[in-house]
Chain A
Amino acid sequence: MRRLGTAALLAALVIVACAGETEKRGPITLMIGGAPAELDYWEEVIGAFTRESGIAVDLMRQPTDTDQRRQSLVVPLRAGEKNPDVFLMDIIWIGQFAASGWLEPLDANIATHGFDLNVFFGRIIEFADRYEGHVVALPVYIDAGLLYYRKDIFEDHVTGRVPETWTELIEYCRVAQRRQRRLQPGFWGFVWQGAQYEGLVCTFLEFALSNGGQLVDRSGNLTLDDPKNIEALAFMRDLIATYKVSPPNTYTEMKEEEVRTFFESGEALFERNWPYAWGLHQADGSPVKGKVGIALLPKFEGGRQVAALGGWHVGMSRSSDRKDDAYALIEYIVSKDVQIGFALNLGWNPARQDAYDAPEIVENLPHLIQLKHVFRNAAPRPNLPYYSLLSRALQAELSKALSGMLTAEEALKNAQAKGLEIVETYEE
C-alpha cells in the first residue's frame, strides 16, 4: 500500500511538473532496459542529443531481463499512455506490437527528413521493420549466430581450415576431444544453445536452413515438418547422443551465457554464440583471451552457411504526444556516429553498413569487418504477431527431440500440427 501511495504521489508530481512545463516543452521519454553499464551509456547518448537538438529526454529504466522488458512496455502501450514516446524492441516483438496498433508509422517523417533507408543492411528493414507496407521501427543493432573456435587447440591437433560442413566439425571435435581429454576430462567439442527457450529456435533455424530447410515457405505457410528440417533436428540430437561431441546438458541448461562461460573456461573447441561473446572472450582475465577465432557456422553438404538474425530496434508509440521530437530522437539513435559509439562502447554491431568502414571501427574492432558479410545474409525468424506463441510450441517439441523423448520426425509433426492450430486461432 505504501508503495502504491508513493507511486501515486510521484505520478501526481510528474503530472504537475509536466503541466508547468508544457510551454517550455518538457522532456520526451525513452524507455530502455539492459545492463547498468549500457543504461549509463544511454544517458551520455541522450545528453549529446539534447545538446544538439534542444529536446530534453527522460530515460525510463527497465529491468535487464528480456521478458520483463517486454511486460513493462506492453502495459503502458496497451493502456495508450503518452509515455514512453520512444522505446527499444527485440526484433521478434515488432510483429505483435505493430499488429496491436502500438507503433507509429515512420514513413512520413522519413520522407520529410530525406532519411535514406539503404544505409541499413540489405533486407533487414523488409524482414523486421516493415508492417503492412509501413516502416514502424528502425534497427539499432543487429545480432547473428557465429562459430567461435579455439585457435590454439586447432593448431595443436588439427591441421587445415575452419570446418565449413557439420561433418567436418564433428571430425575436428572427435580428434580434439580424444587428445584434450587426457588433460581436461570435461572437455567437449561443440557447445550451443539447446535449452528450451527462444535461443533454441535460433539454433534450430540455423541447422535447418543450412540443410536447405525452411520454417515458412514463400507464400507464408508453416513448414515446420519439412523433411530437411527433420534431418537437421535429428542431427542436433545426434551431436549429443550419437557423436557425443556436445554435452548431455545441452538441452537442459545451455543458454547463451552458459555456453559462453563453458567455452570461456577453456572446456570446448567450438561454440555457437552471438557476437557479444567476442568482447568477453577477449577481455582481460578471460582464460581464452587471444586464443579465439570466429567464423561462419557450418552447413550440411549441399546447403549454405546460415546465421540467425537477432537484435534490437527502436520504435515510437502511437500514443506519443510529441511525435516530431520523438522522430528526431530515433533518427539520432540510428545515426552513423551514435552507432559507432555503441559499437566502441557497448560492443553492439551497427545495423548501418557505413559504420563498418569508419576508421575507428577498422582500427579498434577489426573482427567486425568479417561479420559484415554474416549480417548481410542473416536469416530472420518469421515476423508474425503471434510469433511468441508459435515459438513456444516449437521450443517444447524441439526439446522433446533433443532429449530423446520423441524422434525428430514425431516432434516436428507435432510442432507443425500445433503451429497450424496457433495460426488458425490467432490469424487475424
Chain B
Amino acid sequence: MGLGSRSGDRRTAYLFILPLAAFILVFIVIPVIGTFWTSLFREVTYLESVFNFLGNYRRLFSDANFWQSMKFTLLFVAVCLPIELFLGLVFALILNEKLPARGVLRAAVLVPWAIPTIVAARTWELIYNYSYGLANYVLAALHIGSGPVNWLGTPLSAFGALVIADVWKTTPFVTIILLAGLQTIPEQIYEQARVDGTVFYQRFFKITLPILRPVIAVALIFRSIDTIRILDLIYVVTDGGPGGSTTSLSLYGYKFFNEGDFGYGSAIAVVVFVMAALLSVIYLRVGGFKGVVE
C-alpha cells in the first residue's frame, strides 16, 4: 500500500485521525489523568484538601471491604466470561449455518443487547422478586420446592442470579462479534478439509478456532473490560447485598464519590482502570495480535 509513501497523503491521514485523537484526549486521557491526580489527595468535601501521595492506596491495602469487592469482581469475571464465550460461540456457529429465517433469528438473538442495562436489570429484579417474581411463580406452578425462594437472599444465590442476568444481557454481543469473524472464513477451506476426510471437530479445532482467535480476543477484551467495571446491573438488582457480598469494585468506589470522599473513590477507580488495561495487554499478546502490538 503506497498511501503513506507521500508526505501529502500522510498529512491528510493525520488530519483524518485528528478528530478521533482530540476526542480520546478530551474524554479519555484527560479524565484518566485527572482521576489519578485526585487519587493522590485526601479529597473529602468537608476537610482541607491535602496531598498525601499514595496514602489512599495504602489505605486500600488494609481495607477488608475493598478486597471483598476485588474478590467478588474477579470471581464474577472468571465465571461470566467463559459462559458468555462458550454460549456466544455456540450461537454464532448455529447462526452461521444456512437456517430458515436466519435473518430473523440473528435479529432476535441481539434483543437483550439492545435493551438498556437499567431496564434489563429492573426486569431481572422483578423476576427474582420474592413475593411476585416470575421465578417463584414458575416454581409454584410446577410444584417444585417448598414455597418461594429468596433468590437474592444468600451470597451464593445472589451471585448466581447476577451471573444469569449478565450472561443473558451480554452473550449476544459475543455472538455478533464471533459471527462476524466466522463469516470471514471462506467456505472453500472447509470443503477442501472435507475432501481430505476430516471430521467436524477436527475442522473446528484446526480451522475455525485458529482463524477466530483474534476475533475471540477482541470479544474477550471488550467483555472483560466491561465486566471488571460492572456497576449498573448490580446497582439495580442487589445494590451490593446481601451484607455487601455482591459489591463490585466500581460500586464500592461510586459510593465514596456519593458520600464526598473523592480521593479514595478515585483511587478505587484507578485500580479498576489499571486492571482493565493489564487484561487488555495480556489478551493482545496472546490473541494473535503480535504484529499489531509491537
What residues make up the interface of A, taking CB atoms closer than 8 Å to B?
67, 70-71, 74, 78, 96, 99-101, 186, 195-197, 247-249, 251-253, 262, 267, 385-386, 388-389, 392-393, 396-397, 399-400, 402-403, 405-406, 418, 425-426, 428
Given A99-B46, A100-B45, A248-B150, A405:B130 Cβ within 8 A: no
Contact with A along B144-155 (1 / 0, CB 8 A): 000010101111
A249 touches B46 (CB 8 A): no
B239 touches A67 (CB 8 A): no
B202 within 8 A of A: no
Contact with A along B256-294 (1 / 0, CB 8 A): 101111000000000000000000000000000000000
CA distance A388 to B45 in the complex (A): 13
A-B CB contact pairs (8 Å), 24 listed: A70-B258, A96-B45, A96-B46, A96-B260, A99-B45, A100-B260, A197-B239, A247-B130, A249-B129, A249-B150, A252-B152, A253-B129, A388-B260, A389-B259, A392-B255, A392-B259, A396-B243, A396-B244, A397-B243, A400-B244, A405-B155, A405-B243, A406-B243, A428-B46
B242 touches A405 (CB 8 A): yes
CB-contact partner of A249 in B59, B130, B258, under 8 A: B130
CA distance A385 to B260 in the complex (A): 10
CA distance A406 to B155 in the complex (A): 12
Q: How many A-B residue contacts, CB cutoff 8 Å?
A: 95
B181 within 8 A of A: no
User: Is the contact region of chain A dominated by helix, strand, or loop, or is it mixed?
Assistant: helix
Q: Given the complex, which residues of B lie within 8 Å of A252, measured CB to CB?
A: 130, 150, 152-153, 238, 241-242
Query: By the criterion of a CB under 8 Å from any partner CB, how many residues of chain B are at the interface?
Result: 30
Q: Given the complex, which residues of B lie within 8 Å of A389, measured CB to CB?
A: 256, 259, 261
User: Is the contact region of chain B dominated by helix, strand, or loop, or is it mixed?
Assistant: loop
B240 touches A196 (CB 8 A): yes
Closest to B42 in A: A425
Known A247-B131, A399-B242, A403-B153; further 16 A-B contacts with Cβ < 8 A: A96-B260, A100-B260, A196-B241, A196-B244, A249-B130, A252-B150, A252-B153, A253-B129, A253-B131, A388-B260, A389-B261, A392-B259, A397-B243, A400-B243, A418-B65, A426-B47
B163 within 8 A of A: no
B243 touches A74 (CB 8 A): no
Q: Given the complex, which residues of A lie within 8 Å of B255, measured CB to CB?
A: 392
Closest to A399 in B: B243
A249 touches B239 (CB 8 A): no
Q: Given the complex, which residues of A lie within 8 Å of B153, measured CB to CB?
A: 248-249, 251-252, 403
B45 touches A78 (CB 8 A): yes
- Tell me the minimal C-beta distance from A389 to chain B in angstroms: 5
- Tell me the minimal C-beta distance from A104 to chain B in angstroms: 15
- Tell me the minimal C-beta distance from B159 to chain A in angstroms: 13
Closest to A249 in B: B130
A399 touches B244 (CB 8 A): yes
CB-contact partner of A100 in B46, B239, B244, B245, under 8 A: B46
- Tell me the minimal C-beta distance from A428 to chain B in angstroms: 6
B44 within 8 A of A: yes
- Tell me the minimal C-beta distance from A287 to chain B in angstroms: 15
Q: In residues 230-259 of chain B, which contact A (Cβ within 8 Å)?
A: 238-245, 247, 255-256, 258-259
- Tell me the minimal C-beta distance from B188 to chain A in angstroms: 47
Given A96-B46, A252-B153, A403-B153, A196:B239 Cβ within 8 A: yes
CA distance A393 to B240 in the complex (A): 12
Closest to A390 in B: B259
Q: Given the complex, which residues of B lie within 8 Å of A397, measured CB to CB?
A: 243
Closest to A397 in B: B243
A248 touches B130 (CB 8 A): yes
B46 touches A403 (CB 8 A): no
- Tell me the minimal C-beta distance from A94 to chain B in angstroms: 12
Q: In residues 145-195 of chain B, which contact A (Cβ within 8 Å)?
A: 148, 150, 152-155
Given A71-B258, A74-B45, A248-B130, A196:B59 Cβ within 8 A: no
Q: Given the complex, which residues of A lie within 8 Å of B244, measured CB to CB?
A: 196, 396, 399-400
A399 touches B258 (CB 8 A): no
Q: Given the complex, which residues of A lie within 8 Å of B260, measured CB to CB?
A: 74, 96, 100, 388
Q: Given the complex, which residues of B lie within 8 Å of A99, measured CB to CB?
A: 45-46
Q: Given the complex, which residues of A lie within 8 Å of B240, measured CB to CB?
A: 196, 396
Pick from B130, B155, B259 the residue with the most CB of A within 10 Å: B259
Contact with A along B102-145 (1 / 0, CB 8 A): 00000000000000000000000000011100000000000000
CA distance A249 to B125 in the complex (A): 13
Closest to A101 in B: B46
Q: Given the complex, which residues of A lie within 8 Å of B45, measured CB to CB?
A: 74, 78, 96, 99-100
Closest to B148 in A: A248
CA distance A252 to B130 in the complex (A): 9
CA distance A197 to B238 in the complex (A): 11
Q: Given the complex, which residues of B lie within 8 Å of A399, measured CB to CB?
A: 241-244
- Tell me the minimal C-beta distance from B211 to chain A in angstroms: 39
CA distance A389 to B46 in the complex (A): 13
CA distance A418 to B63 in the complex (A): 9
CA distance A386 to B44 in the complex (A): 10
Closest to A195 in B: B241
CA distance A275 to B238 in the complex (A): 27
Closest to B130 in A: A249
CA distance A426 to B130 in the complex (A): 38
- Tell me the minimal C-beta distance from A123 to chain B in angstroms: 24
Given A96-B260, A400-B243, A405-B243, A428:B130 Cβ within 8 A: no
